[in-house]
């Protein structure tokens, strides 16, 4: 695995012998690593499976790319069940627990000799593939880390996406058109947005020990509206957003956003406590596409503000940025790039560089501000963002020794 974003500082957390986390459906889960290297998984405090290392290895480096003398081989893990059967949903949860521990590799060899019925599920969903190694057995597979974080095989009740904000399965590609100030473009018809107040995304953040959720903002919800108005009227937020005003101004802004099919606003919560506001939009219909060009039909754009002071700081900010972009990539698998255009000179610029492996394409002029052009590519996101800092710092040390 190669991490090549110079300023990016990945999510950090200590890795105790027993790691506690929550699934998107709020089921408590634990993964415990024993002295023998076995990883035991429990769901709702009930042991369900273990991944035990076997006394053999399999090649994980691609045969058509990497020469034999530098190919990487890893020990094979065997899936061992605590009961006669394991549902696909619980198997996915066990793989979640495994990847939270084995974040240091892109592939993991897995033997299903004791659970051959899981082969179709893993192979047909893309959670795993057949090994290239000629020495592999008929029940061996390679688990794919990047496929897992793209929600391959995720059961609906445990998907990080909590509602139908995705355009798949098969929302059609139908030509549509937008004419607006600074925008005149052909683009695909967009899927309808979920109702205000609908939860869009949730993920337990190990580094914080809390669940982060994104919910479609509801201006009719007094709790949402009061927090949003207070945030926009603060001096710090107004420097970046410029939306200070009275209640009528804020209601009009949110009403325009709700009526606009290309943009969706959402509130950000930590364990149910409101923390900030963000927006996800289809970039082709956004003014950034007019002024930077080259964006695809399904590329997206984001905006973010952290309103509550107690929820600021790098760890939470990085987790929110990561989750917001994760939601965007999950809701539309045809999205290749997500862009942002924060006002040049704001303190958030270096924070964005640290939070995600963005490409920074310099600054450009918009009618109302000079902005910095950030771009995040799908492949780079899924290759890099779920790595604890230990792996990055180890790589940086290795690079310095070359």
Q: Which tens digit of pLDDT belongs to each residue from 295-321? A: 899 999 999 999 999 999 989 999 999
Local confidence band at 402 (pLDDT 50, 70, 90 cut-offs):
very low
CB atoms under 10 Å from CB of 275, counted, come to 23
- How far is the C-alpha of 373 from the C-alpha of 343, rounded, in Å? 9
Options 285, 341, 383, 384, the catalytic residue:
341
Structure tokens at 344: 């040049």
H/E element, 101:
helix 88-101
What 3-state DSSP class applies to 393?
A: helix
Counting every residue written for the chain, the total comes to: 402
Does CATH place domain 25-149 in 3.40.630? yes
What is the model's pLDDT at position 164? 58
Per-residue b/e over 131-162, b at no fewer than 16 CB within 10 Å?
bbbeebeebbbbbbbbbbbbbbbbbeebbbbb
Local confidence band at 398 (pLDDT 50, 70, 90 cut-offs):
very low
pTM of the shown model? 0.91
CATH 3.40.630.30 range(s) for the chain read 160-390
Using alpha carbons, select from 166, 192, 188 the residue that is nearest to residue 175.
Answer: 188
Structure tokens at 396: 């940086």
Beta-bridge partner residues of 179? 184
Do 47 and 41 contact (CB within 8 A), yes or no?
yes
Predicted confidence (pLDDT) at residue 169 exceeds the cutoff of 50: yes
Predicted confidence (pLDDT) at residue 107 exceeds the cutoff of 50: yes
Query: Tens of pLDDT along 335-371?
Result: 999 999 888 888 888 888 888 899 988 888 888 889 8
Q: Between helices 247-259 and 222-232, what is the axis angle to 10°? A: 110
Residue 78 bears catalytic tag = no
Mean pLDDT, the chain, integer: 89
User: Is 56 or 354 the better-scoring residue by pLDDT?
Assistant: 56
What is the model's pLDDT at position 384? 87
Structure tokens at 9: 């500082």
- How far is the C-alpha of 97 from the C-alpha of 105, rounded, in Å? 14
265 Cβ partners below 8 Å, 6+ apart?
216, 217, 254, 257, 258, 277, 278, 279
What is the model's pLDDT at position 96? 97
At the fourth CATH level, the homologous superfamily of domain 160-390 is Gcn5-related N-acetyltransferase (GNAT) (3.40.630.30)
What is the model's pLDDT at position 136? 81
Per DSSP, helices labelled H in 136-285 are 145-149, 222-232, 235-241, 247-259
What is the model's pLDDT at position 345? 87
Structure tokens at 201: 């995304």
Do 111 and 137 contact (CB within 8 A), yes or no?
yes
């Amino acid at each position: 695995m190669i991490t090549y974003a110079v300023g990016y500082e990945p999510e950090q957390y200590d890795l105790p012998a027993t790691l506690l986390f929550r699934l998107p459906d709020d089921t408590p889960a634990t993964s415990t690593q024993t002295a023998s290297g076995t990883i035991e998984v429990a769901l709702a405090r009930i042991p369900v499976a273990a991944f035990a290392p076997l006394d053999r290895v399999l090649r994980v480096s691609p045969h058509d790319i990497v020469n034999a003398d530098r190919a990487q081989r890893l020990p094979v893990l065997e899936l061992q069940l605590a009961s006669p059967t394991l549902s696909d949903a619980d198997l996915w949860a066990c793989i979640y627990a495994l990847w939270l521990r084995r974040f240091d590799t892109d592939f993991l060899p897995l033997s299903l000799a004791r659970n051959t019925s899981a082969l179709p599920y893993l192979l047909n969903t893309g959670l795993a593939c057949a090994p290239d190694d000629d020495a592999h057995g008929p029940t061996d597979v390679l688990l794919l880390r990047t496929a897992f974080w793209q929600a391959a095989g995720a059961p609906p009740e445990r998907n990080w996406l909590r509602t139908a904000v995705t355009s798949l399965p098969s929302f059609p590609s139908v030509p549509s058109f937008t004419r607006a100030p600074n925008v005149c473009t052909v683009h695909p018809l967009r899927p309808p947005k979920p109702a205000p107040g609908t939860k869009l995304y949730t993920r337990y953040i190990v580094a914080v020990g809390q669940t982060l959720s994104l919910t479609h903002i509801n201006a009719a919800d007094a709790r949402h509206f009061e927090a949003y108005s207070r945030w926009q009227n603060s001096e710090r937020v107004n420097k970046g957003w410029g939306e200070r005003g009275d209640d009528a101004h804020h209601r009009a802004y949110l009403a325009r956003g709700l009526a606009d099919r290309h943009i969706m606003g959402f509130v950000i919560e930590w364990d149910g406590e409101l923390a900030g506001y963000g927006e996800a939009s289809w970039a082709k219909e956004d003014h950034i596409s007019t002024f930077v060009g080259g964006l695809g039909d399904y590329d997206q754009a984001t905006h973010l503000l952290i309103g509550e002071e107690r929820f600021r700081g790098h760890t939470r900010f990085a987790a929110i940025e990561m989750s917001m972009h994760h939601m965007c990539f999950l809701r539309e698998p045809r999205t290749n790039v997500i862009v942002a255009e924060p006002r040049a000179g704001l303190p958030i610029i270096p924070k964005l560089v640290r939070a995600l492996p963005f490409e920074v394409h310099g600054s450009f002029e918009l009618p109302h501000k000079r902005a910095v052009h950030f771009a995040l590519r799908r492949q780079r996101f899924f290759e890099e963002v779920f790595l604890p800092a230990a792996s990055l710092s180890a790589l940086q040390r290795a690079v310095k020794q070359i």
